[in-house]
Chain A
Amino acid sequence: MNQTVLSRQLNFNSVAAIVFTTIGAVLFFIAPSQIDEPLIKIGYGTQLSPELFPRLVAVSFFGLGIWLLIASFQIRQRNQLRELDREAITNVIVTLILMAGYVYVMVYLGFVIGSALMILVMSTYFGNRNFLLAGVVAVAVPVIIFVLFTKVLITSLPPFPVDEVIPSHWIIYDPIKYISNHSII
């Protein structure tokens, strides 16, 4: 009987509260071992310890966790994670797997090829059957994004194979000097 009442009262907010309280306690005790010792005490006199602020945050975690634990028995909120149906869970998991694969492919095969594959696979999974359109978009958009970031904003993306086609020293027209981070004032 007691177990049933307890399970009715313990909810996701209670669990979150216990997690936060534990984090606070752990943080408080590991703080000294996780903060380097200052070689020279610049700024740190006797009254200011490098552990002071982290420990205040840890105590806040602990105290707020206890507060949430007490309040959780009164809060009426729905756990929307539990309300997710099979389709939603499958779609999110598939997307996460695709994202993990995308990171790997992008780093080793370059941004353009990785992104093209990602667009083709993901759009097909989510129901697109116009493969000609998907193919055009899968090639054009990554190239545009690549050019925007590398040739206009002068940053870098995994280049292969575009660096074989577009010379790395080539940048878009002269006003670029005003849109990089040079001071203009």
Chain B
Amino acid sequence: MFESFLGGFAILFNPETVFMTFVWMAGGLFLGMFVGALPGFTTLMAMAILLPISFFIHPLFGIPFLIGIYKGGIYGGSIPAILISMPGTGAAVATTFDGPPLTKKGQARKALEIALYSSVSGDLASDIITIALIGPIAAVALFMGPPELAAILFLALIVISATSSGVFVKGLLMLALGLFFGMIGQDPIGALSRFSFGMMDIEAGIPLLPMLIGVFALPEIFIGIERRATHFIQSSDLRVTGARLTFAEFKSCIRTIVRSTFIGTGIGMIPGVGQVVAAFMGYAAAKSASKTPEKFGKGELEGVAAAEAANNAVNGPTLVPLLTLGIPGDNLTVILVGAFIAHGLRPGPQLMQQQGDLVFAILIAMIFANIMFLFIGKVCIPFFAKVVTIRKSLLLPLTLIFAFAGSWVFRSQPFDLAVLVFFGGFGYIARKLHFDVTPMAMGFILGPTLEYSFGQTVILSAGNLPGYVFVERPFTAAILVLTPIFTFLMWRRTMRLRQRFDQTS
């Protein structure tokens, strides 16, 4: 693995490509911050709509571009949260506790700067931890065969279904629906045509890109159009005022940033929890550790630092289960899986073995992205502060045409636009009825791999599946036995975190 790590440097700093890699990543960061700063426009929507761009460029550019959107979007949400108490993303809700009071005191600039520095610090530290963890986990994962892979995928899908939805069985049903959608087209073992119901357009399966844009981006647009409003906000003073953050003030927040970084990193590795809970946990921990907890909620810099370091620290570690085992931890990483698969890179143990250098190049690029993150954030704060004044009545149709263009370029077939609208409508109704589409998207993406590994296991078992698994594959047997226990523990932990989140908020 260490050779792959060194190989990653060689790939990243290839003189022919290094410039373009950083240009694409800077573009992703800028777009992420831009969308993150728009209330009602989520990072998820930005990643889904811009996903097609990453499909048609080299993975060394396309995946850092998406990671840039991911990182930038999580930070961008803090800008309107601080200035107008309107979080651009869910991850920035905890920032509204202390950000707006600081703005009222005339310290908006300090608040925005501590948010930026905390976000970059949390992101950078968690990226380094991610790289340190990925090698050993991937080395262990390499010893897995089809039975172990099938068992791990099964466990992951069940755990994510349990933790992503408020009601366990609804998450499982959405997973089953995703597995069914994934079965349409051809079976992964014998390439037999199935469940196309006589429709030529789905003989090769449901197209991935229109489906992902449909379920993740269109529902956000539908929710955005429920109310007619020309602007996101009617009028507000959006000037970034006050003195700059001093080094002494930043130094006083370092302990909080470190604590929140560890909280965010730990939460990032747990599937289905995410940035929102991390921000609240970081905030609550900072408040309880503070000598002056009464100042929290009244304009305390540490409050902003705690929330922002924690939510950005989630970004890197979500890639650990994704890259080593092929398990996306949340809806944002599902989109990253889509990008990997589009490039013929299926996340999982084999990816680290076959394309370890490329994966490490992407991870190292993430570390350097933090430097650009700091620079772009610092220079563009006044611009992003004004983003909320953009006309919503113009931005919504623009988002929509980008979604349509992205769906069209996948195969240049009008049918794909129908798929986009179908899944958009489905995602909107599902959200209104409290069905989470994340397990469905995961079932759709991971279903064929699960079926293939399961089929290989059945063939290897030579007609005696239980005997083969429980006698010859003890690791597989252990995973299967532990699946209900682990699922229950993860479900209970997530429910407790959500309860604490509800209490704090």
Residues of A within 8 A of B (CB): 12-13, 16, 20, 23-24, 27, 34-38, 41-48, 50, 52-54, 57, 60-61, 64-65, 67-68, 71, 75, 77, 79-81, 84, 87-88, 91-92, 95-96, 99-100, 102-103, 106-107, 111, 115, 118-119, 122-123, 125-130, 133-134, 137, 141-142, 145-146, 148-149, 153-158, 175, 178-182, 184-185
Contact = CB atoms under 8 A, between A and B. Distances in A.
A180 B20 CA distance: 12
B56 A180 contact: yes
A24 B180 CA distance: 10
Given A64-B173, A178-B58, A43 B193 contact: no
A79 B429 CA distance: 10
Nearest to A51: B194
B4 to A, nearest CB: 13
Given A47-B462, A115-B401, A157-B408, 14 more contacts: A23-B180, A35-B187, A35-B194, A64-B173, A65-B173, A92-B225, A95-B222, A126-B396, A137-B394, A141-B398, A145-B401, A180-B56, A182-B58, A185-B357
B69 interface: no
A128 B391 contact: yes
B176 A60 contact: yes
Interface stretch (B78-86, B227-235, B237-245): B227-235
Which secondary structure characterizes the binding site on chain B?
helix
Nearest to B14: A184
Contacts of B343: 181
Contacts of A126: 225, 228-230, 392-393, 396-397
A111 B400 CA distance: 13
A54 B194 contact: yes
Interface bracket on B:
35 or more
Name the 6 nearest CB pairs between A and B, nearest first: A88-B226, A155-B409, A153-B56, A128-B393, A122-B397, A126-B393
Contacts of B60: 184-185
Given A34-B197, A47-B458, A57-B176, A122 B230 contact: no
Nearest to A43: B189
A81 B429 contact: yes
Interface in B375-426: 391-394, 396-398, 400-402, 404-405, 408-409, 412, 414, 417-418, 421, 425
A179 B16 CA distance: 11
B432 interface: yes
Nearest to B19: A175
Contacts of A67: 169
A127 B229 contact: yes
A156 B228 contact: no
B225 A153 contact: no
Best-surrounded residue of A34, A42, A130 (most CB of chain B within 10 A)? A34
Interface of B: 11, 14, 16-17, 20, 52-53, 56-58, 60-61, 166-167, 169-170, 172-173, 176-177, 179-180, 183, 187, 189-190, 192-197, 221-222, 225-230, 343, 357-358, 391-394, 396-398, 400-402, 404-405, 408-409, 412, 414, 417-418, 421, 425, 428-429, 431-435, 451, 454-455, 458-459, 461-463, 465
Nearest to B414: A107
Q: Which one of B226, B227, B418, B461 has the greatest number of beta carbons of chain A within 10 Å? A: B226
Nearest to A52: B458
A52 B408 CA distance: 34
A57 to B, nearest CB: 5
A115 B392 CA distance: 17
A25 to B, nearest CB: 13
A153 B414 CA distance: 20
B414 A103 contact: yes
Nearest to B456: A43
A50 B187 contact: yes
B56 A178 contact: no
A45 B193 CA distance: 18
Contacts of B428: 92
A99 B405 contact: no
Given A35-B192, A92-B226, A185 B405 contact: no
Contacts of B433: 12-13, 16, 77, 79-81
B61 to A, nearest CB: 6
B57 A81 contact: no
Contacts of A158: 408
A123 B390 CA distance: 13
B401 A119 contact: yes
Contacts of B227: 87-88, 91
B234 to A, nearest CB: 12
B11 to A, nearest CB: 6
Contact of B169 (A68, A91, A130, A179): A68
16 contacts: A20-B173, A34-B196, A36-B193, A50-B187, A50-B192, A52-B455, A52-B458, A53-B187, A91-B227, A127-B229, A127-B393, A128-B394, A157-B409, A178-B16, A179-B58, A184-B16
